[in-house]
Amino acid sequence: MKRDFLTIWDLSKDEIENLIKRAIELKSGADKSKCPLIDKSIGLFFEKPSTRTRVSFEVGIYQLGGQSIYLNPKEIQLARGESISDTAKVLSRYLDGIILRTYLHSTVEEFALHATVPVINGLSVLHHPCQALADLMTIVERKGKLKGVRLAYIGDGNNVANSLIEASAKTGFDIIIACPEGYEPDPDVLDRARGSAEGEIIILRNPKEAAGRADVIYTDAWISMGQEADAEKKKAKFRSYQINAELLQCAKKEVAVLHCLPAHRGEEITDEVMDGPQSAVFDQAENRLHTEKALLEFLIR
């Protein structure tokens, strides 16, 4: 039976922990000679521009012995009215797995419903589970554990925040979201996570309060792709939510700083923090490669 990875909920706690352990092994160079994707072809169906998701998956597929095929929706028959369901059924006859990066989460769900091969959500407007796996790996590298770690997510309650909340519920780290009113994470995500939470999940307004006693501080761009229309109005509301040296003084001395990138330097994060000794941002970006390789090993049989 095929397995999809559309949200963090698609994995058990043990599976998440095993994937992180395996990703750390892969990063160390273990099993470098293994090619579990030999003779496998993986499609990358991307509606949105991408740096980390596209490159990390293409390199990871190659390193595991497979081949990737990039699919731009404007260059296949979807552009001429073919349905998502028909596209998914046909591509399943050619490919061994499909990675999607889409605007609507319903596109990912419909594709997975009709595909007969594993489908991975590389990003949708509601969820970014592949990023969350890399985040968890980075936290383990820096803090040695997940359960009991206190993460302060400061900024827009977007798809990254949603996936981190689900990861908190699954693995037991505490998460505090600091955001302006009206920019909270998805309420359905919050309700489900709080109903089965291993870790504490808190929403508040004061970023300094969120940073207090934090082991990890995390932020993302304030303006997501496709949401540029109200950019200036939104930036005005978020100015006090910048990750800067003053904010870090509220956290633990050994706090780690994360950002899923791309960063808008001088907006949600300063150069001083981004390039400072507490930043794990570029380790976090590298870890996309290792966690995605572990995920591909697990899903593509």
Domains of the chain listed by start with CATH number = 8-128+287-299 (3.40.50.1370), 131-285 (3.40.50.1370)
pLDDT surpasses 80 at 229: no
Rounded to two decimals, the pTM is: 0.97
The pLDDT of residue 129: 98
Q: Which residue among the candidates 22, 52, 54, 101 is catalytic per the annotation?
A: 101
Reported as a pLDDT band with limits 50, 70 and 90, residue 225 is confident
Asked about 242 being catalytic, the answer comes back as no
Q: Which residue among the candidates 130, 179, 250, 260 is catalytic per the annotation?
A: 260
The pLDDT of residue 23: 97
Mean pLDDT of 187-201: 92
Nearest to 234 by CA among 224, 243, 242, 223: 223
Report the chain's mean pLDDT, rounded to a whole number.
96
**Comparison of pLDDT for 187 and 78, the residue scoring more:** 187
- Whole-number Å distance between alpha carbons of 113 and 129: 18
Q: Which residue among the candidates 22, 135, 220, 290 is catalytic per the annotation?
A: 220
Q: Is 215 exposed, middle or buried (0-12, 13-18, 19+ CB in 10 A)?
A: buried
The pLDDT of residue 20: 98
Mean pLDDT of 93-118: 98
pLDDT surpasses 80 at 235: yes
Distances (CA, A) of 287 to 22, 62, 101, 274: 12, 16, 18, 17
Asked about 265 being catalytic, the answer comes back as no
Asked about 131 being catalytic, the answer comes back as yes
pLDDT tens by residue, 29-74: 977 778 999 999 999 999 999 999 999 999 999 999 999 999 999 9
The pLDDT of residue 292: 98
Q: Which residue among the candidates 52, 128, 142, 259 is catalytic per the annotation?
A: 128
Residue 68 near residue 46, CB atoms below 8 Å: no
pLDDT surpasses 90 at 281: yes
Asked about 101 being catalytic, the answer comes back as yes
Q: Which residue has the tokens 């001429």?
A: 80
Asked about 128 being catalytic, the answer comes back as yes
Q: Which residue among the candidates 131, 242, 278, 284 is catalytic per the annotation?
A: 131
